[in-house]
Amino acid sequence: MTQIALHNINKHFGAFHVINNVSLTVEDTEFVVFLGQSGCGKTTTLRAIAGLETIDSGEILIGGKPVQDTRVEERDVAFVFQNFALYPHLTVFENMAFPLRAVRTPKAQVETTVRRVADVLQIGGLLNRRPSALSGGDLQRVAIGRALVRNPKAMLMDEPIGSLDAKLREEMRVELKRLHVEQGSTTIYVTHDQIEAMALADRIVVMHAGVLQQVGAPEDVYANPVNLFVAQFVGSPVMNVADVTLAEDAGGARVTVAGATQGFAFPSALLGQVAATGPANRPLTLGVRPEAVRLTLQPAPGAVATEAHIIEPLGSHDIVDFRIGDATLRARTKAGFVPGPGVPVWVTLDHSRAHLFDTATGQTLGIRL
């Protein structure tokens, strides 16, 4: 049983506050993904948990024991490095045996454990090779194998598949998920790739500028982003955002994109919900994902007229760019739905999947329609 808990940890690199008061509990056997841009503090946080970085203040508990002042060796966690950090002068077998030999495991046991793990990872045939003779995917398997042989309390992975090509990354993603299901070890995984995060995580932790932005199940983070940063970081293509004004109109609400002549009709409940969070006339930002934007080729009631600008055909679907007022928005449509650029289209929004954010703070208003 290994739970990892962070209590108010802080770290500075000089004047740069790289981890800003982070608190988080990772439950036993949970797969948690730290997601954020490079430089957001996710890797530093992971390294701090492993003991490769010291922290300025706060507490790190592994299995209930405070470890922030102990050395790496005593924390008994495995770490998969982004560049794999395999020992170049040792064979695959010796690389995987290293953690066992380092703690004087009997020879026979080293032999059986390494072979068992190598079989799980399908690298049994490579045991006598050196890392320099392996492909990227195999290097990554060896690095994971070296972590798995010792049954560590927790697996920490720092962008382990970040340096692989796209196709291999997809394969390894599935493999990692399968391994986690089989081994069930508590795992913290760092990535900047939100698709990887969505695919792997039990819970996603979105970090920005050293601060935890949102912690939650992937579908929850996707559907209910707490602020504009999370809204725009998670999801591909990115969520549409536009500065809007809110007005009452004919018994309903009207949301007008800055610079537009026509607004989107919303249920009147919107006005009450916005009023409950603060003054309705403050600057607001509308956020709506491309799949919640509906295009029609004929005029529809309450639809805003515009024309298609750029069409990106992605095979299974198209992404259509169009302008409303000062904003460029994107919609996801069936493949080939809009015949070409310049075609007039009418836009409506799925109210239940529209988000409103306070422009000044970037925080969601928590509107539910």
Partner 1 sequence: MSDLAIRNLFIIPTIVFLIVFNIFPLLYSLGYSFTDFRASTNAPANFVGLDNYRTLLSDPFIWRNFTITAKYVIVSVTGQVIVGFGVAMLLNREIPFKGLLTTLLLLPMMLSMAVVGLFWKMLYDPNFGVINYALGLGKFEWLADPDMALYAIAIADIWMWSPFVMLLSLAGLSAVPKHLYEAAAIDRASGLYTFFRITLPLVAPILMIAIIFRTMEAFKTFDLAYILASQPTTEVISIRLYKMAFQEWQTGMSCALAYIVLIMVLAITNIYIKYLNKVKER
We find the least distance from the C-beta atom of residue 75 to partner 1, in angstroms, to be 9
First-to-last C-alpha distance (Å) of the chain: 41
Largest Cα separation within the chain, whole Å, is 81
Evaluate whether 273 touches 355 at the Cβ level (below 8 Å): no
Q: Determine contact, residues 363/357, Cβ cutoff 8 Å.
A: yes
- Radius of gyration, CA atoms only, the chain: 25
x/- binding map, residues 114-143, to partner 1, per CB under 8 A? ----------------x-------------
> Which one of 74-82, 189-197, 210-218, 309-317 is the stretch in contact with partner 1 (CB under 8 A)?
74-82
Q: Which stretch binds partner 1 (CB under 8 A): 86-94, 175-183, 304-312, 321-329?
A: 86-94
How many angstroms separate the CA atoms of 32 and 207, rounded? 13
Number of CB atoms found within 10 A of residue 94's CB? 16
* Comparison of 14 and 88: residue with beta carbon closer to partner 1: 88
Tell me the two tokens of residue 105.
């495991």
Q: Residue type for 203, please?
A: R
- Kindly tell me which of 111 and 170 has the beta carbon lying closer to partner 1: 111
Candidates 36, 41, 99, 325: give the one binding partner 1 (CB under 8 A): 99
52 touches partner 1 (CB under 8 A): yes
Residue 357 in tokens:
């954010």
Q: For residues 91 and 262, which CB has a smaller minimum distance to partner 1 in the complex?
A: 91
> 363: which DSSP letter?
B
The nearer residue to partner 1, 82 or 224, going by C-beta atoms, is 82
Q: Show the tokens assigned to 173.
A: 């993603």
What would the 3-class secondary structure string for 155-218 be? EEEECCCCCCCHHHHHHHHHHHHHHHHHHCCEEEEEECCHHHHHHHCCEEEEEECCEEEEEECH
Question: Of residues 65, 89, 107, 116, which one binds partner 1 by CB under 8 A?
Answer: 89
CB of 3 to partner 1, least distance (A): 20
**Per rule CB under 8 A, is residue 81 in the interface with partner 1?**
yes
Distance CA 104, CA 306 (A): 71
- Which amino acid is residue 14, in one-letter code? G
SS3 238: coil
Rounded least distance, CB 103 to partner 1, Å: 6
Q: Which of 64, 87, 178, 248 touches partner 1 (CB under 8 A)?
A: 87
Whether the CB-CB separation of 97 and 110 falls below 8 Å is answered with yes
Tokens for 160?
A: 């382990």
Scanning residues 6 to 25, which ones bind partner 1 (CB under 8 A)? none
Q: How many residues bind partner 1 (CB under 8 A)?
A: 25
Q: Which of 11, 42, 141, 146 binds partner 1 (CB under 8 A)?
A: 146
Confirm or reject binding of residue 365 to partner 1 (CB under 8 A). Answer: no
Choose, by CB under 8 A, the member of 57, 72, 112, 181 that binds partner 1.
72
Give whichever of 111 and 321 is closer to partner 1, judged by the CB atom: 111
| Nearer CB in complex with partner 1: 78/239 | 78
Question: Does residue 76 interact with partner 1 by CB under 8 A?
Answer: yes
Does position 71 bind partner 1 by CB under 8 A?
yes
For partner 1, the closer CB: 75 or 208? 75
Give the Cα separation of 110 and 355 in Å (integer): 55
Q: CB 140 → partner 1: shortest distance, Å?
A: 14
Q: Which residues bind partner 1 (CB under 8 A)?
A: 50-52, 71-73, 76-79, 81, 83, 85-90, 98-99, 102-103, 130, 146, 150
